[in-house]
Chains A and B, each alone.
Chain A
Amino acid sequence: MEKSRAVMSGKQKAIMAVIWVLMAFLAILTIFPVVYIILGSFKSNVELLVGGSNIFPSEWHPENYVQAWTGAKFATYTWNSVTISVCVMLISLFISTMAGYVFSRSHFPGKNLIYGIFVAFMFINVGSVSIRPLYELATALHLNESLLPIVLISVGTGQATYIFLSRGFVDSVPKELDEAAKIDGCTFFQTFIRIILPVLKPVMGTIALLSFRQGWNEYIMPLVFTMARDNLRPLTVGVNMLKATGGGAAAWNVMFAGASIAVVPMLIIYILFNKNFMSGSTAGAVKG
C-alpha cells in the first residue's frame, strides 16, 4: 500500500484532500454534542439552562464533578457499570460465536426451526413489556439482589444480532479448514476453539464492542432491577436519578457532569478495541 500512495497522481491527491476535509467536517459535527456536554458540565445551572451560543462556560465550575461524584455514589455506579458491561461482553462473545458456528456447521433435526425462531424474535420486540415478567421471575428465583439478572437479560436481548453476525462470518469460512482439522483428530468443539475462533477475530471485535456498549447503556431494565439497591445501580441509572421530581428544579449541570463521567470510560474502551481488533488485517485468514 505504501507504494501505491507514492505513485498517486496530483489529481488523486486533490481528491484525497477534498475527501479528508469532508470527513473532518463530519467529525466536527459528530463530536460537537459530546464537547457540548463536557463543556456544559462546567457551567453554572442557570447558564447551562439558558443556553445560547457561547459554548465555553463564562465561569468554570469544576465543583459540579465533586457534587456528582460525592452526592451520588458514582464510584460504586462506575464499578457496577464496568462489571455489567464486561460480563455482558464476555458471555455474549462466547455463546454467540459458538451458536453462530453451530448454526453454520452442524446438522441436526430442528436446527433450522430454532434458527427461524431466533430470527423471528429479532423483530417480535415486546420491548418494555418484558421487564415486568422478568422482574417477577427474578424475584421468585431470589436473583434480584445481585447484578446477575441484569447481565443475563442484557445478553439475552442482544444475542440474536451477534449470532446473526457470527453465522454470516462462519459461513464465509471455507469448509476445507474444518475438514482438515477433523482429519487431524479435532472434535467438533476443538475445531471451534482452534480453527474457527481465530478466524472470527474481526467479528469478535465488533461483537465485543457492541455488547460492551449494550451493557453500558442499558437503562430501563437496570432501573427496575436495582430500584431498592442503590449500591447496585449502574451509571445510566445513577445519572438519571440526579433528576429532581416534583419539588423543585434539577441540577442539570451536575447531571451533565455525571453524563460526562458515564461517557469517558466507554470512550477509553472504544479506543482500546479500535486498536486491537479492528486494525488487524484478517483477510488473509479468511482467504485460507
Chain B
Amino acid sequence: MKKAAKTLLLAGLILSLFMGPVFAGGSKESASASGKTVIEVWSEDRHDMEYVESKVAEFNATNTDNIQINLTIISDNFRNMLQMAFSGGTAPDVAGINAIPINMIADTGIAMPLNDFIAESPEYQKVNDPYNQIYEGTNSKNGNIYWIPTGMRSGVRVIYNKDLLEKCGYTEIPSTLEAYIDMAKDITAQGNNVFYGIGFTNASPFERLLEMVSEVSGIYYYDYVNGRFDFSGYKPVLEQGRRFFTENIAYPDQQGVDNMRALFSVGMFALWSNASQEAAVFTEQIPVQGFEWGVAEVPTLTGEVTGALETTPSKGWGIISSTKHPEEAWKVIEFFQSEDFLKGYLEAGYCLPSTDYMASIIDSSKTGRLADFALKPYETVYPKPPAINLSGNDYRTVFWNAVMGYVDIDEAIADLNTRYNEALDADVASGAATRLVISDYDPLHPDQGTPEYLTE
C-alpha cells in the first residue's frame, strides 16, 4: 500500500519535472532585448538552406534597420501549415509562397499585394524586372502582385546516359515521341535485363514526360477559349505511352524519385526526364558515376513544336497580411531579392535566372550543368486554370493509370471531362471559383492573351 503511494508521489515528482519545459515551451522573442524588430520568415526549401542561412546570418549582423530575420524551414505540408498558422494567428511575416496556388493566397487574403512597395523601389525593379514577370493566376490576380520570382525552373528535359546510347548505336534524342519510344525499346532489347531504355518513378510520372510531350505538341487540359476542361487531346500521346508497358520497354519497377535517380546514376537505364533541378542532383546529391550524361529537349508528336512548354517561376517571397511590420518585411524581401543575394544564389546553381539583368550579372561558368537547362524560346508560364473542388483522382493519376493499362484510355478521358467540368460548373455556380477565358489564346504564347474571369 505504501509502495503505491510512493510510486504515485514519484510519478508526481517526475511529472512536475517534465511539465516545466512543457509549459515554458519556446518563448517567442517578438521584440528581443536589443530592441530589434524580429521578422519571422518561412521557407519550404531545404536544399538551399546552407546558402540562405549564411546570408541571413550576415544580414542579421550587418543591417542598419535593426531587423532580425528568424528563418524557419518547413519542408513538410508547407501549404497547410501556412494556412492553419494564418487562421490561428501565428503566421510569419514573410514566406516563400511561390509554390502555393494563387487562390489560396489571394482570395483568402493571406498574402498582401506588393504593388505599392514595388513601385517605390527602383533597385528592386532593376534587379527583378517585376513588370515583365507578372503571370496571371500564378503570382498575380486582378492586377495585384503577390510575389515576384527570383529564379526559374526550366520545363522538363530528357536526361540521357550518353555512353549507353552510344553503345546501342545512337547519338542523339529523336524529335518525335514514336522514334523516342522505338529507341528506348531497342536499348532495352540490347540491354538484355542488364540495363533498360527508360525508367519512370511512381511520384507523378505523367507530369515528368508524357504531359510535357503533350504541351509541346499543343495539347493542354484546359480549353482557354471556351473556358472548359478538355482532356480529349491527350489520346494519341496516351496511346503511344501505353507502349512503354505493353511492349515491356520501361525498367520494370517504379519507385520514388530519388530511387530512380540513383538507378539512373549507376547506369541502370538510359533515359530519364525532369526539370532543371536535376543539374544539381546529378552533380552533387546523387552524382552520376562513370558515364557522361546529356540533356535534350522533350520529343513531340510530330517533331514540330506547336505549343509552349511550361516553366515554373520559383523562389518568390511574399508578405503575409497579418504582419505587424510590413515595412520591415518588405526590407527583408528586398534583401532576399537583392543583386548580392541573388548572384551567390544563382551561381550556386539552385535555379536559372529569371531576368535578363541577373543573367548578365552572374558568372554562368560557375553554375555547372545548369547551363544545359537554359530556357528555350518556346518555354513560358501558363495562366493557371481555375482551382476546383474535384472528387476522385486528378487527371495525372488517371492518365498514368491509363498508360499502365488499369483503365481504358477513352473511358479515362470521358470520366475526366465529366468530373472536371461538373466540378467547375458547380464551383462557378456557388461562387467558389471563376471561369477563366482567354479568347485570343495562342498555344505557343499562352501568357500573351487577355484573361477574363467569368462568374457563369
Contacts and interface: CB of A to CB of B under 8 A. Distances in A.
Q: Do chains A and B touch in the complex (CB under 8 A)?
A: yes
Interface of A: 45-46, 49-51, 79, 83, 86-87, 90-91, 93-94, 132, 135-136, 138-140, 144-148, 151, 193-195, 197-198, 223-224, 227-232, 237, 240-252
A83 B18 contact: yes
Nearest to B28: A145
Contacts of B422: none
Contact of A49 (B4, B81, B89, B258): B258
A45 B285 CA distance: 8
Interface in B327-386: 350-351
17 contacts: A50-B259, A86-B15, A90-B11, A90-B18, A135-B84, A139-B88, A146-B22, A197-B8, A198-B1, A223-B77, A227-B81, A228-B92, A229-B25, A240-B76, A241-B76, A243-B75, A248-B281
A49 B261 contact: yes
Contacts of B281: 248-249
Contacts of A87: 15, 18-19, 22
Nearest to B27: A145
A246 B277 contact: yes
Contacts of A91: 15
Contacts of A197: 4, 7-8
B45 A246 contact: yes
Nearest to A91: B15
A136 B1 CA distance: 44
B287 A46 contact: yes
Interface stretch (B160-168, B238-246, B262-270, B440-448): B262-270
Contacts of B277: 246-248
Interface of B: 1, 3-5, 7-8, 11, 14-15, 18-19, 21-28, 40, 42, 44-48, 72-78, 80-81, 84-85, 87-90, 92, 99, 257-259, 261-263, 265-266, 268, 277, 280-281, 285-287, 289, 314, 350-351
Contact of A45 (B84, B286, B350): B286
A135 B44 CA distance: 21
B75 A244 contact: yes
A246 B76 CA distance: 11
Contact of B4 (A51, A139, A194): A194
A140 B286 CA distance: 45
B5 A194 contact: yes
Nearest to A76: B26
Nearest to B81: A227
A228 B90 contact: yes
Contacts of A248: 47, 277, 280-281, 285
A138 B21 CA distance: 17
Contact of A94 (B11, B85, B262): B11
A148 to B, nearest CB: 5
B5 A193 contact: yes
Given A198-B4, A244-B46, A232 B25 contact: yes
Contacts of B90: 139, 144, 228
A247 B74 contact: no
A221 B198 CA distance: 40
B25 A139 contact: no
Contacts of A250: 258
Given A86-B14, A228-B92, A252-B258, A147 B22 contact: yes
A193 B11 CA distance: 13
A228 B86 CA distance: 11
Contacts of B18: 83, 86-87, 90
Contacts of B11: 90, 93-94
A247 B15 contact: no
A59 B414 CA distance: 53
B347 to A, nearest CB: 16
A91 B18 CA distance: 12
Given A46-B286, A194-B4, A146 B23 contact: yes
B275 to A, nearest CB: 10
List of 6 A-B pairs having minimum Cβ-Cβ separation, nearest first: A146-B25, A49-B262, A139-B88, A247-B47, A249-B285, A248-B47
Most buried by B among A46, A132, A145: A46
Contacts of A132: 84
A204 to B, nearest CB: 9
Contacts of A50: 259, 262-263, 266, 268
Contact of A193 (B8, B46, B85, B99): B8
A148 B287 CA distance: 44
Contacts of B23: 146, 148
Given A45-B262, A139-B90, A83 B22 contact: yes
A228 B257 CA distance: 28
A90 B15 contact: yes
B5 to A, nearest CB: 6
Contacts of A231: 26
Contacts of A148: 22-23, 25
B40 A228 contact: yes
